[in-house]
Structure 1
């Protein structure tokens, strides 16, 4: 069984590129990839009090999501969303563990507030005024594929657009040694149940047992393999190269329980 939806727009931020146009140029081979630490984006859509509270995970998630919707010229408050990451806000988790290991063991209300896994979707609601349903998932290394399948199913069944936002940020030490994530990365895709004049491509998703698709460029493969959210890069590359490579090979993304999510690209 497969699910077919349409990709309308993309937003992305990560090491070496700050938005989708920059990633697209790299993935097309128009610009050489230069590895660099992910920037800490300025988030102007939140009130000042909330801006002071949010961490890197929330910032990159919201920035990528807003980029996708801006490219599609869609009001963020009208959008159903699916958020997914490998394990949530690692920095906030570290600070809570640090507080619990101290003498007074007191956790600040802000830390506790940001510890819930759906914190990014909550801040999204504050920033956009969105009142529609939002789903928050956790997929470890398979976060992008888990989120994409969930968003595609919702889009297909509910017959309405869905914004997928997948993000990851590293843990500080000592947690980083146990769960290494190389840098921050976020990617968002706006999906629709039907084609529109601005559709980038159709994607047909289904579950299979197959090896994950990798990147030919070794530097980009290092990004893909070292940041769970960056498992999206093979799909991002195929979308970036359209329509020149309209007959792209199937893409296989790491899923759970030994399975892969197969993605077949078609005309938008």
Structure 2
């Protein structure tokens, strides 16, 4: 079993602009109706904040919040960025433009279309020179991102930043790749035990579904933000906030992640 301490959590979801707001929603049902429509990550210069797509903004907002909660310098951490679709709004724009007026493609919007855009903005904004991984595994993207971060810890990293995010789809893509709202979640995971912080153990089960493995029921966050394709990240956050001791995450067509949580 791969083990890690959760040193910090960052969160931004439509209507829940930080981890404290998410916890308040889960525990009391309270929500701030005046929450902004999208985050404004202070890691970026003002002109970059304006140009950055919404998925980059939500990824960086959650990532910086997790680093601050962990009291870790953002530049010091290797990072794993996982997203199911990346920036679908820009993908829709590019497809429509290529079909109607291909010479009008915006170079700025094109460079924001690549799947590692958020990781690139993060390394520039944080001044991070360590490795940054960008991955996608369809509906299993969060589970595979978590596994990647845990393996990096097991391979020798002292701490790893995991960032999971997705945005809304638009145009014809909304029919084949539906997703609504903005959602970003980040964890700083470390090898350092701390009795005051939650610790997780992750075990990969393949080939056959374990008898105990069942998809987690929809909790408060999933009920509110389940339209976003990064919803699979929410059960772990719910389990940490609500002090559950175990959950199972589908991680592939015939794979499951068993996640045990010690709340200290």
TM-score (norm 1): 0.88
**In 2, Cα distance between the equivalents of 1:240 and 1:107?**
44
Deviation, 1:105, is 3.8
2:234 corresponds to 1:233: yes
**In 2, Cα distance between the equivalents of 1:41 and 1:249?**
32
- Partner in structure 1 of residue 94 of structure 2: 96
Aligned pairs (5 A) from 1:85-124: 85-124=83-122
Deviation, 1:21, is 0.7
8 Å CA contact 1:140–1:228 kept in 2: the answer is no
- Partner in structure 1 of residue 5 of structure 2: 6
Deviation, 1:216, is 4.5
8 Å CA contact 2:222–2:231 kept in 1: the answer is no
Aligned pairs (5 A) from 1:30-179: 30-32=28-30, 39-179=37-177
2:257 corresponds to 1:261: yes
Deviation, 1:54, is 0.9
Q: Which blocks of at least 5 consecutive residues in structure 1 are unaligned? A: 243-247
**In 1, Cα distance between the equivalents of 2:175 and 2:121?**
29
**In 2, Cα distance between the equivalents of 1:249 and 1:21?**
21
Secondary structure at the aligned position of 1:140 is classed as coil
- Partner in structure 1 of residue 22 of structure 2: 23
8 Å CA contact 2:16–2:35 kept in 1: the answer is no
What does the per-residue CA deviation read over 1:6-49, in whole Å, with 9 as the maximum and x for residues that have no partner?
1111001113311001111222x223468999721122321234
**In 1, Cα distance between the equivalents of 2:262 and 2:195?**
15
8 Å CA contact 1:207–1:260 kept in 2: the answer is yes
**In 2, Cα distance between the equivalents of 1:229 and 1:149?**
16
2:220 corresponds to 1:223: no
8 Å CA contact 2:38–2:182 kept in 1: the answer is no
- Partner in structure 2 of residue 212 of structure 1: 215
Secondary structure at the aligned position of 2:234 is classed as helix
Secondary structure at the aligned position of 2:145 is classed as helix
**In 1, Cα distance between the equivalents of 2:33 and 2:234?**
15
**In 2, Cα distance between the equivalents of 1:33 and 1:103?**
44
8 Å CA contact 2:80–2:161 kept in 1: the answer is yes
8 Å CA contact 1:212–1:260 kept in 2: the answer is no
Secondary structure at the aligned position of 1:165 is classed as strand
When residues 10 and 147 of structure 1 are mapped into structure 2, their CA distance, relative to the original with a 3 A threshold, is same
TM-score (norm 2): 0.90
Q: Which blocks of at least 5 consecutive residues in structure 2 are unaligned? A: none
Secondary structure at the aligned position of 2:235 is classed as helix
When residues 130 and 106 of structure 1 are mapped into structure 2, their CA distance, relative to the original with a 3 A threshold, is same
Deviation, 1:267, is 4.0
Deviation, 1:155, is 1.4
State the aligned residue count: 258
